[in-house]
């Protein structure tokens, strides 16, 4: 994402709860400010979410793009960035929300799963859907092999959606997303 030409000029901050996150190193190498808001330093999800929102606001960012972020943000975070938090998820939501989506798709024997980009709301892996891409489940797929194919689609799709988001071409109207 950092290398996407239409996205890079809009990145105000790369934040993570993991000090070893590769995205922090890539951002630092690109001259983008970084911050670690370590989950363990806070007593609860609400305190963590407030601290993260404070960092995002201090950076001047107007929206938030989640990528590989495996925490559930408290409503206090979403209230500060209403309809301005994007997420990508490895399933065709509303099917298989949560952090075991790929394994759940395999366990349920679906023939097709996919990738969903959506705006975040108070529920887990829920909110207005921007777009989805289907990915077939192949015979003999493992969690790893299916996840690898899903990631190919994620890496193709997300930069394009994020570019539309940062350039002001995506708007939420109720439960629908409008593109300009």
**Comparing C-alpha atoms, which of 145, 153, 43 is closest to residue 102?**
145
User: Which class for 69: exposed (0-12), middle (13-18), buried (19 or more C-beta within 10 A)?
Assistant: buried
pTM comes to 0.91
What's the pLDDT score for residue 3? 60
* Virtual torsion, Cα 69, 72, 75, 80, nearest 10 deg: -10
Q: What is the pLDDT of residues 131-148, one digit of tens each?
A: 999 999 999 999 999 999
Q: Which CATH architecture has domain 86-180?
A: 3-Layer(aba) Sandwich (3.40)
Question: pLDDT tens for residues 3-30?
Answer: 666 666 778 899 999 999 999 999 999 8
Please say if the pLDDT value at position 95 is more than 80.
yes
Which residues have a catalytic role annotated? 89
Q: Enumerate the CATH 3.40.50.170 domain ranges in the chain, comma separated.
A: 1-82, 86-180
pLDDT one-digit tens code per residue, 31-42: 999 999 999 899
CATH number for domain 1-82, candidates 3.30.70.20, 3.30.70.1230, 2.60.320.10, 3.40.50.170: 3.40.50.170
């Amino acid at each position: 994402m950092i290398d996407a030409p239409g996205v890079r000029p809009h990145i105000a901050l790369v934040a993570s709860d993991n000090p070893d996150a590769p995205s922090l190193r890539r951002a630092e190498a690109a001259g983008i400010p970084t911050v670690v808001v370590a989950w363990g330093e806070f007593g609860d999800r609400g305190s963590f979410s407030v601290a993260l929102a404070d960092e995002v606001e201090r950076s001047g960012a107007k929206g938030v793009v989640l990528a590989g972020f495996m925490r559930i943000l408290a409503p206090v975070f979403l209230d500060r960035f209403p309809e301005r938090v994007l997420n990508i998820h490895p399933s065709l939501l509303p099917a298989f929300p949560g952090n075991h989506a790929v394994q759940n798709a395999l366990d349920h024997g679906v023939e097709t799963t996919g990738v969903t980009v959506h705006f975040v709301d108070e529920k887990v892996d829920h909110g207005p859907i921007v777009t989805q891409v289907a990915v077939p489940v192949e015979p003999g797929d493992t969690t790893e092999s299916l996840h690898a194919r899903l990631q190919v689609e994620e890496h193709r799709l997300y930069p394009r959606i994020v570019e539309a988001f940062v350039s002001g071409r995506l708007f939420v109207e109720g439960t629908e997303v409008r593109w300009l």
